[in-house]
Amino acid sequence: LSNDPPLPERVVRILAGLVESNAGVIWIQDEKGNYALKTTVNLAAPKFTTIDADAEITRFFREKEWIIDLQEYRADPIKYNLLEIPDAISSFPEGWLIIPLYLDNELYGMALVGTPYAKVELNWENFDLIRVVARQTCNLLAQADAQNRLSRAMQFEAVSKASAFMVHDLKTLIAQLSLLVKNAHRHRDNPAFVDDMITTTEHAVRKMSNLVDHIRKPADDNQ
């Protein structure tokens, strides 16, 4: 899949397009269980960006796979059991539909679709389609997240292995140079020792220079 635009933005556009809208927001569960804002499309950046894991709306969605119509909610909040809408969502005055995103039976995220650019009447078929598309796109988000986590883990493992090799080489060089320093006073007048010391020191300098180049190379490549 192409990363231009990023997947969360494409998911927002897909869901919004189902109801003749071109605006929306998406929140995805983070490592702490809260729901962090991932992207906004054609909506101003909000003051509040996170929906708490223990927010009333997250408990609501864990019990019911409902799509919340905010226009209907404002007209008759009792229909939604006087549900408290978190600031991260209510800070978007153009918000219209709150769509839960499920991965199997777990609430993986939430999407907010903005008011459509033309009047749209929704029926149960529309809502069923939105639920199906929401689940499918949620699977894509979860797969991409899993791939990113795996990639980061592999990079961390590679860095750890490289670090272990570098530490080993440095310890070897330190041991060699320490031995030279220890014996230098005793053998300073021995030409063979001096020649060996110069050769060993030159080797150590080359080795450490190569290690420094190896450490700096990734940073230079990213510039």
Give the lowest-confidence range in 83-87, 146-150, 180-184: 146-150
Over the stretch 61-95, which tens digit does the pLDDT of each residue have?
A: 988 889 999 999 999 999 998 999 999 999 999 99
Q: Does pLDDT of 220 surpass 60? A: no
The amino acid occupying position 117 is Y
Over the stretch 5-48, which tens digit does the pLDDT of each residue have?
A: 888 899 999 999 999 999 999 999 998 999 999 999 999 888 88
pTM score > 0.75 for this model?
Answer: no
Residue 126 CA to residue 194 CA, distance in Å, equals 86
Residue 64 CA to residue 112 CA, distance in Å, equals 17
Quote the tokens at residue 136. Answer: 């499918």
